[in-house]
Structure 1
Amino acid sequence: MNFNRIFSVAAITLVIASGSTFAQVKKKPATSLKTKPAAAAAKPPSNNTLPIDRDVLIGKLPNGLTYYIRHNEQPKNRAELYLVNKAGSILETDAQQGLAHFTEHMAFNGTRDYPKNDLVNYLQKSGIRFGADLNAYTSFDETVYQLPVPTDSATVFKKGFNILANWAGYVTFDPVEIDKERGVVLEEERLRGRNAQERLSQQTLPVLLSNSRYASRLPIGKESVIKGFDAPTIKAFYADWYRPDLQAVVAVGDFDVKEVEGLIKANFSALKNPVGEKLRVQYTVPPTPGTAVKIVTDKEFPYTLAQIVVKHPQAVVNSITSYIQSMRINLFNYMLGERLTELLQKPEPPFLYGKSTYAGLLGKQDAFSSIVVAKPGDLENAVKTIVAETERARKFGFTITELERAKQAALVQVTNSYNERDKTNSTNFVREYQANFLIGEAIPGIIFEYAFYASNISEISLPQMNALAAKLITDQNRVVIVEAPEKDKDKLPTEKTILDWVNNAGKNVTAYVDNVTSKPLMEKAPEGGKVVSETVDTAIATTTYVLNNGLKVILKPTQFKNDQILINGNSFGGTSLASDADFTSANLAAPIIGNSGVGDFNQGQLDKTLAGKSLHVQPYISDISQGITANASPRDFETAMQLIYLYFTQPRKDKDIWQGNINQTRSILATRGVDPGSVFQDTIAAVLNNHNFRAMVTTPERLNAVSLDKAYSFYKDRFADASAFTFTLVGNFTPEDIKPYLEAYLGSLPSTNKKETYKDLRMYPTPGLITKVVNKGIDDKATVQLVFSGAYDFNEANNIQLDALEEILNIKLTERLREQESSTYAPGVRINYVKIPSNRYTVTIYFSCAEANVDKLITATLDEITKLKTTGALPADIGKFVAEEARSTQSQLKENVFWAGYLAGAAQNQQDPDNILYHVKNLEQITVASTKATANKYLDMNNFIKLILLPEKKAAAETK
């Protein structure tokens, strides 16, 4: 069972709004600043205003359109072009509900210069993927279009501004295209909604948003409007609100700023504001006195959770005063988060998931929100515990040691950003400028922020932080929401009882005690080993060391990031070597022991000891291998090496962590069968892995038989022999500089030369025709997966043909199922091929739709497959794949994360890593004939699986 996956899913379902004014402090602590900032930059301006980053050019055309332009070379030869509109669903009339979002769709379905689907076709031919690169979103207050373009193609680059201008003022709204798009938008609503969380939100949002206009203007709109509106109605929305005085163009990338300013003026100056333009009303959510309580249930909701939301007016960071306050809020969130993390490290955690944070909400609001997922039947304890923690902070504040750690964490975040200032991705700047345009958030730039943090964070005092806690945590303008499974409806407390819990939970709390240790992570370095051989691959600039204990290290120094070293080490074996009886214990070993601390440090002590460090180290055990993943700043590289050494040699067996995780998993399993998606995924896992229990969610019976001693023993055994490990390191270092650390910490790891490998447990589909229908769920919502699989000859030539087949199928099924049939929103194709544990390939085609359209779309999918088998791909579609793949490869070759994964994979599969240098050239192997042959070989109807999730009202059918 994958604990991390379970808890991430649980967390995702709780999110009701996103985005804080400034990025919240991450859990990784920090060091002090090594570079002393300029004194002038550190001093607050006397007039309380924040400066504007001098590297961004901000201008405004006579028609009112605003533009932001910045030269940035990360990534090289690329630019991010955004059109930002202060027009969202909040501006819709009753007859237009959903048309702000529908307008966004129509911008891709016909403009003055790009009729019908010409825009998407043109961009795909230029190497820009629809959905992955080219995209847009609609929210309550804004609609934003994103267009990444190459700058090494002058024609495509200049066309990008023409495309943005077409979106801004020249969408045509062809009635035929509108009618075709109705089905697509309704299917998007079916895909993203039509679930328990959406149904519950429909009931809770009116309370959370005080029955304001925000509560009645969800961006997806109303089905009746989407089905029945006419062209003049949507054109009226577009004419009223898509106007230059409410629009901004944001351009960041590897280009000449003055040239871009000229392109913006040339393409956008002709846009005109409407005569008698409407007032752009700024809607808000009115505050309400006291506390409102809302209890809701749903048949398919698997958890019982509570949210306590204290709403405050939105605070825009646009002055020195508000900036310092945002710094305090970051510190507050960090310290409170650390306390809640400690609760989850107890042998009997009081809840499955808990988080308290102050962040942005909706409707010009910020909020202090606590979210807690209760164990089955234990809502009272969960609510009282999380409220008690917030009350502890409100009553007694924080400790000086907590505050100092939080400051270190904040400093490392700003230090890392400063160190990467010339390697920052363009999209990071785009987000800042977008916020500046939409809400007036300041953009002082990282040079100012770095200096300001360094000079002023020490001035933030404990009394200030304690006063902030008392201000944020109140009982006014508060909403308490409880969401639960319908089956537990009769067991839920009344509104009065819940309010009593919340009001009385913190009455007996005492001050927090911060248990810290001053011991070093390691008293002294180990004896160490030596590099016994060194090989240099000049083609891809790598160096390979072999240490005297047999461990191999592949090094690729880069300058792609200034403050990053990525580390991965692995060897074969994994849980495939565990017996069936011991598998569940073995499968729990790495996620639990890896979060139990090391040596004499429990996890809480380890987190506190690492304050002042920018690093993360985590052991893992997969089905075929075991290893360590890590990343670190160059200044903290030795500490990362120490942790790797300790995870090998001194893993910690923590009974509290073990028992707490077992208890939480048992609670999660108790309700897993309620969610249709989980039930369907369990079926998929069974069918695609030959019904091997190892690939499926564990059962309570198997969980009852697990043993910490067995898990610990298995972990120790998997990391007992370093001789079979290969480590890859990619990032900002030189081999000679880090060689002593590699010899000291990796060279001293134990070596037994057992030469173990994995076992092939044949966890893949059985051949033949299989249809499996799962009937679960109350909505008219079907999910389909069509799977082809079989044996495979893993090599570069075959791999590239399957890559092409995947993208060509994606193109054809989007055209057919989405655009032509208008019966699904996001059909997709994934093709996986592996060499280990056995040469296999899997083609998975997936989509969601109405139950009535399942057979039609399966037939249409198979029809497109037949066309590929008969005539091969269209040359135009091959051209799209080649352009996209070439451009993405060029970008990936300048990314640490790509090289880290690629070198590790090449080593594991025993491939020549130099092959990547010929990848773009090898795209010439994709031809009409090769796509036909590939389709016939790998889309084999003799090995075909249909997996279908249908609502419960239809009787299940199963044939083999």
Structure 2
Amino acid sequence: MTATKRFRTVAWLPLLALTATSLTAQTVPPPPARSAPVPLTSWLHQGSDIPADPAWTTGTLPNGLRYAVRRNGTPPGTVAIRIRIDAGGLMEAEDEQGWAHLLEHMAFRGTPTRPDGEAVKLWQRLGASFGSDSNASTTYRATTYMLDLPRNDARSLDEAVGTLADMMQNAAIDPKLLDIERKVVLAERTARLTPIAVKVRDATRDVMQAGLLMSKRELAGTEATLAGATAERLRAFHRRWYRPERAVVVIAGDIDPAAMVDRITAQFGGWKGAGKPPSEPAYGNPIEPKSRIALVDDRNASAGMQLAWVTPHVPGKMTAERQRAANLDTIALAVLNQRLSNQARSGGAMLSAGASVSRQRSMADTVSMGVNVRGTQWKEALIEAYGVLNRTLAGPIDQAEIDQQTSTALDSLRRSIETSKTAPSAAWANSIVGDVDSEDVGATRQYYFDLFAAQKPTITPAAIGAALKAMFAPEPRILRVSVLPTEGGEAAVVEALTAARKAAGGAVAAVRTVTLDMVSPPLTPGKVVGERPIAEFGIDRVEFANGVELVMKKTDFARESIGVEVRIGNGQAGRAVNTRALDWSSGVLTGSGIGDVTPPELARLAAGRQIGFSLATRSDATVLTGGTNPRDVGDLLRMMLAGATRPTVDPVAVQRFRASYAASVRSIFGQPQSVLAVFGTPVMYGNDKRFQVLPPAAEVNGSDAAAIKAYWTRVLGEGPVRVSVVGDFDRDAVIRAVAATFGALPARAAPPLTVQPIPPLPNAKPWTLTHRGDPTQAIVAVNWRTFGGLSDLKASRALTMATAIIRDRLTDDFREKQGGTYSPFVSQDEIRGFDAFGMVMAGAQLTPDRIAGFRETLDKIVADLAANGPSADDLLRAKETAVGAAQRNLASNGYWAANISGDLDDPRRIESMRTYISGRKAVTAADVRDVVRKYLADGKPLVIEVRPAPAGTVPVISVPAPTGPTAANP
């Protein structure tokens, strides 16, 4: 099992994607006796000395199909099904590129006994929505089909598993449907392969992937290879690769494993491969590239570099020794990343940097270092990055740095033992699929904790130094991305890299060891003056003498997991219309430290603990959010209190934000999606500046550290304070922790709540924005003004069904019948704090010439629903998926966190929770018809189109002037 997978809850190394490449031998004591190996009866563990997890029932059918089944009760009554076929982009011939992905699409388009689209409709009737609960993905190695079923009765399981088995064995591949689906796949390809992504792919193939088959394969295919996929040839591809011995069925959920094995045997046991099994492709091995330099310039690019150290992948199952080596490499990279982060905060040419490692079967092992650059200072940034690397390689590494990372890793592994007891079934199923992909194995979390704990004494400066030297021993390869062509071309990069590799190591800046008392001085605890529980939902409400309210909901959905929110003030709703604020600078504040304690000092303080938090301004409050565990919840609240009462803004952090801002603005124009999100959103809200996504450049450049600190000091220092806690906690301990922190603050005078109504949406002709990405791509978004959700619960739930039905019909008509887009989107948006405002949006990314066709299709759907309402089957499928999603939500901390952070004195919120399921079940066809008629058919929508900018022109980002009430005339 990879190091990353076992440390996947660790927040200290976000860039680490896969396991390490270095397999340095370590002499370490064996794990304790309680992790002694058990008989290796699992096909997943053959060739490994890592003991199998006895919770998995595994086996192989006589036809070669492998299965893994696990009983898991989270969420209750649900089942996660995965079918992995060992057929991906690497199994394609030169003229078959993209066929594995195309076949994935065609598998959903019917079999001889199941008409086109019937599988999706069946699953919807069982409560699984297409796209979120049922989906598929194709990689270079495999194609995986996924179904999360909200029911576990025998009939539902028989139908679900039977349908998947039929799809795998008997995909019809009708020629007419293939012609349509080919258009959908091409649309998906175009939407995902942005122009800059294509440039990077083409520039790096012969540099980063030299010698590998993957360098000659395009996972999404090309227009020519996709055009060559006839129905007969695609059937032949299906017969060649879709065979039982290349299939793995993984099922985890609230089930009887023995009965599920019988079901798998019955549905898949008769599957027989046609003809002789195919030979494995010649995957290749990394070779010395002709050039180690790749250059990409693009006007939408953010300046940066990626260095890579590539070695051949060593095949074979994960063993205990490999895991120990992977653990060592993980800690080594964590030390390096902390140093890179510290250097980036110094205000030099390197805005940010991080190292990671990937271990890819049939491909290569690659250590990477990404560097984001300030402006044109790429040479200076390269020297800074290499300076950190050289210092680290030269050593000696401080044992305190290593202890910081090992403490965090060990704490994460400790918590994973508890969290695994309530891990959702989908996570377990995905874990096994990932294991198959990487030749990994899944032991118990206890085994990995024991293995690491036994290894920890051997993780010394010498061992870390040796691991780093092994990882960075190959000759580096480099990709440089810039706005303008690199002056001097490859020769200039070679020269700069040669100079950077000689960068002096220098001294490592000392990091002071601080205590929590230094960050958050103890206070005299406040007093509890009242309690107002809501027994119906198991919600506790505690009031403190200073006016702070604590709201708690204890759950057992996730062991060792607690979510904490501190909500301050009234957010955007408490501001006058069209008021601009410095909310964009929240990242500057949280990246500056607390008081006189710097971020590196905070990182060392946090080692082995969950006490980090984020800060954001929302529609109804400024919110500090953190995730923790029962041991650390008190310390997290102390850190949050310090962040709210001792805000610090580092001038260097302001400078870094300005440099990153300039690069981010350029990248926005590279895709229609980002233009819509950034510049279309304010239009949807009447161009009210409270909802402006991107701050003006003049404001960013004109706001210094003092102004930003003054702003956050004011925002965090006034208005009501509300603390909400959800999860696995001790009630009395949480009350004491809040009493000692926010309950101990002086009483605050709440400012008057002056919620302004959102200006009405304009009803004029479509607003047109432009982008400078792929000239064949556009987006259309049709927006209808509705209402705030709590203001009319019945209508809100009817709109939920209406949006689902409209999405299904758009998918069935504009996508599946016309091939007009890859994925139409329909959403319902209700903003907390604004009862008078809500929105339904329907749209798609498509070619500009299809915008009119999309509008016509959408108008027909809306008109039909307004006139006739939905069919019985349409409504049934919409209700079943909505109810299924609601049932899963009720068994999640996220649902309760969202609700208890709202106004619990509002009887409408209580009624919303009380009727969360029953209200959805009660929606009728007439209810859907009426809300569509009232809000969609009879209302004039705001239409936003994002079209490609003509060559040589500047993208249009002008938006309508604010309308409606103003600050002076609400």
Is the TM-score greater than 0.5? yes
Alignment-derived partner of residue 33 in structure 1: none
Q: AA paired with 1:345?
A: R
C-alpha distance in 2 between matches for 1:51 and 1:784: 53
CA–CA distance in structure 2, aligned partners of residues 547 and 601 of structure 1: 30
CA distance in 1, matches of 2:515, 2:160: 57
Q: Which residue of 2 aligns with 1:12?
A: none
Q: Where does residue 929 of structure 2 map in the other structure? A: 932
Distance 2:883 2:889 in 1: 10
Equivalent residue, structure 1, for 2:103: 103
Q: Which residue of 2 aligns with 1:784?
A: 780
Taking a change above 3 Å as real, the CA distance of residues 303 and 909 of structure 1, as seen in their structure-2 partners, is farther
1:80 CA drift (Å): 1.0
Confirm or deny that 1:944 pairs with 2:928: no
Asked if the contact 2:361–2:438 (Cα under 8 Å) also holds between the matched residues in 1, the reply is: no
- The aligned amino acid for 2:162 is N
The answer to whether the Cα contact below 8 Å between 2:568 and 2:718 also exists between their aligned partners in 1 is: no
Structure 2 counterpart of 1:648, from 631, 638, 644: 644
The question of whether the paired residues in 2 share the 8 Å contact of 1:80 and 1:251 is answered with yes
Partner of 1:225: 225
Match of 2:413 in 1: 414
Decide whether aligned partners of structure 1 residues 250 and 567 sit closer, same or farther in structure 2, where only a CA change above 3 A counts: same
Q: CA deviation at 1:24?
A: 5.6
Report the AA paired with residue 595 of structure 2.
G
What whole-Å deviation, never above 9, does each CA across 1:612-642 have from its counterpart, x for those lacking one?
Answer: 2123223333454223212211101110121
Q: Does 1:388 align with 2:401?
A: no
Deviations 1:344-400 (A, max 9, x none): 322x24233322122235743121101122222212122222232222222225321
Q: Deviations over 1:208-257 (max 9, x none)?
A: 21153212222211212322432110011110110011111111111111
Name the structure 2 match of 1:353: 352
The structure-2 alpha-carbon separation of the partners of 1:775 and 1:208, relative to structure 1 and needing over 3 Å to count, comes to: closer
Equivalent residue of 1:788, what SS? Answer: strand
Q: Tell me if the contact between 1:21 and 1:317 (Cα under 8 Å) persists in the aligned partners.
A: no
Q: How does 1:521-532 map to 2 (within 5 A)?
A: 521-522=517-518, 525-532=522-529
Do structure 1's residue 498 and structure 2's residue 493 form an aligned pair? yes
- Contact map agreement 1:19 1:360 (CA 8 A) in 2: no
Letter matched to residue 513 of structure 2: T
Q: Select 1:897's aligned residue among 894, 897, 911.
A: 894
Cα distance, 1:931 vs. partner? 1.1
Question: 2:446 matched to which residue of 1?
Answer: 447
Instruction: Report the counterpart of residue 587 of structure 1 in structure 2.
Output: 583
Residue in 2 aligned with 1:371?
370
User: In structure 1, what is the Cα distance between the partners aligned to 2:423 and 2:222?
Assistant: 40
Structure 1 residues 399 and 141: alpha-carbon distance in aligned structure 2, compared to 1, 3 A threshold: same
1:405-484 map, 5 Å: 405-476=404-475, 478-484=476-482
Residues 30-64 of structure 1: CA distance to partner in whole angstroms, max 9, x if unpaired? xxxxxxx9930357999982111122122111111
1:548-604: CA deviation from partner (whole Å, max 9, x where unpaired): 0011111111111221111112143336767999945x3245332233222331222
Cα 1:807/1:151, change in 2 over 3 Å: closer
1:39 & 1:276 partners in 2: Cα distance?
47
1:409: how far off? 1.2
Equivalent AA in structure 2 for residue 78 of structure 1: T
2:851 is the counterpart of 1:854: yes
Question: Using the alignment, how far apart are the partners of 1:693 and 1:525 within structure 2?
Answer: 40
Asked if the contact 2:70/2:252 (under 8 Å) is kept, the reply is yes
Partner of 1:873: 870
- Provide the rounded CA distance (Å) in 2 between the counterparts of 1:928 and 1:297: 54
**Conserved in 1, the CA contact under 8 Å of 2:649 and 2:708?**
no
TM-score, normalising length from structure 1?
0.91
Greater shift in the superposed pair: 151-160 or 671-680 = 671-680
1:185-334 to 2 correspondences below 5 Å:
185-210=185-210, 212-281=212-281, 283-288=283-288, 292-299=292-299, 301-315=300-314, 318-334=318-334
Cα separation, partners in 2 of 1:942 and 1:887, compared to 1, 3 Å: closer
Q: Deviation string for 1:254-300 (max 9, x for gaps)? A: 1111111111111111111222222123513333279611212235x
1:86-124 Cα offsets, whole Å, 9 max, x none, are 111211123322211111011100124422111111111
- Identify unmatched segments of 5+ residues in structure 2: 14-29, 40-46, 961-970
What CA distance in whole angstroms lies between the structure 2 residues aligned with 1:677 and 1:787? 16
Contact 1:43 1:452 in 2 (8 A): no
Correspondence for 1:549 among 546, 549, 562:
546
1:765 is aligned to 2:761 = yes
Query: Counterpart of 1:947 in structure 2: which amino acid?
Result: I
Within 2, Cα distance between the matches of 1:233 and 1:471? 46
Counterpart of 2:311, as a letter, is H
CA distance in 2, matches of 1:882, 1:371: 46
Q: Are the aligned partners of 2:349 and 2:381 in contact in 1 as well (CA < 8 Å)?
A: yes
Q: Deviations over 1:812-849 (max 9, x none)?
A: 11111111111111001011123524511211112011
The answer to whether residue 38 in structure 2 is matched with residue 41 in structure 1 is no
CA drift at 1:644: 2.1
Q: Secondary structure at the match of 2:543?
A: strand
Letter in 1 for 2:710: S
Amino acid at match of 1:932: R
Alpha-carbon deviation of 1:471? 0.7
- Of 167-176 and 937-946, deviating more is 937-946
Q: For 1:9-158, what aligned pairs fall within 5 Å after superposition?
A: 23=7, 26-28=10-12, 39-41=32-34, 49-158=49-158
Q: SS of the counterpart of 2:741?
A: helix
1:606–1:310 Cα change, 3 Å? same
Residue type of the partner of 2:470?
K
Q: Secondary structure at the match of 2:532?
A: strand
**Residues 652-697 of structure 1: CA distance to partner in whole angstroms, max 9, x if unpaired?**
2433323332343245446655665544444313422333445142
Q: State the distance in 2 between where 1:143 and 1:908 align.
A: 50
Post-superposition offset of 1:810: 1.0
Shift of 1:20: 5.8
Decide which moves more: 222-231 or 357-366: 357-366
One-letter identity of the residue aligned with 1:374: V
- What letter corresponds to residue 246 of structure 2 in structure 1? L
Tell me which amino acid in the other structure corresponds to 1:503. Answer: T
Q: Secondary structure of 1:807's match? A: helix
Alpha-carbon distance change, 934 to 959 in structure 1, aligned in 2, over 3 angstroms:
same
Distance, in Å, in 1 between the alignment partners of 2:844 and 2:909 is 37
The answer to whether the 8 A contact 2:37-2:51 is kept is no
Matched residue, 2:807:
810
With over 3 angstroms needed to count, the CA separation of the structure-2 counterparts of 1:150 and 1:266, relative to structure 1, is same
* Paired residue secondary structure (1:820): coil
Determine the structure 1 residue equivalent to 2:165: 165
Q: What's 1:10 paired with? A: none
Paired residue type of 1:83:
I
840-849 or 596-605, larger mean C-alpha shift: 596-605
Aligned partner of 2:653 among 651, 657, 670: 657
Cα 1:651–1:959, aligned 2, differ >3 Å: closer, same or farther?
closer
Q: For 2:457, give the aligned amino acid.
A: S
TM-score scaled by length of structure 2? 0.90
After alignment, is 355-364 or 643-652 more displaced? 355-364
- Higher alpha-carbon deviation: 824-833 or 220-229: 220-229
Once residues 266 and 610 of structure 2 are traced to their aligned partners in structure 1, the CA distance between those partners, rounded to angstroms, is 46
Give ranges in structure 1 of 5+ residues lacking alignment.
1-17, 30-36
2:311/2:474 contact within 8 Å kept: no
User: Mean Cα displacement is larger for which, 845-854 or 239-248?
Assistant: 845-854
Task: Name the CA distance, whole Å, in 2 between partners of 1:948 and 1:446.
Answer: 50
Q: Which residue of 1 aligns with 2:819?
A: 822
Q: 2:606 aligns with which of 598, 603, 610?
A: 610
CA distance in 2, matches of 1:397, 1:761: 61
The worse-fitting range, judged by mean Cα deviation, of 644-653 and 724-733 is: 644-653
RMSD of Structure 2 on Structure 1 (CA): 2.9
Shift of the 714–286 alpha-carbon distance from structure 1 to 2, 3 Å rule, reads: closer
The answer on whether the counterparts of 1:832 and 1:841 sit within 8 Å (CA) in structure 2 is yes
Q: CA deviation at 1:317?
A: 5.8
The answer to which of 652-661 and 132-141 deviates more is 652-661
Deviation string 1:759-818 (CA, Å, 9 cap, x unpaired) is: 527366334444425364452112111111255572322221221121111111111111
Deviates more, 1:757-766 or 1:558-567: 757-766
| 8 A contact 1:24–1:330 mirrored in 2 | no
- After superposition, the C-alpha distances for 1:524-565 in whole angstroms (9 at most, x for unaligned) are 631111110112211100111111001111111111122111
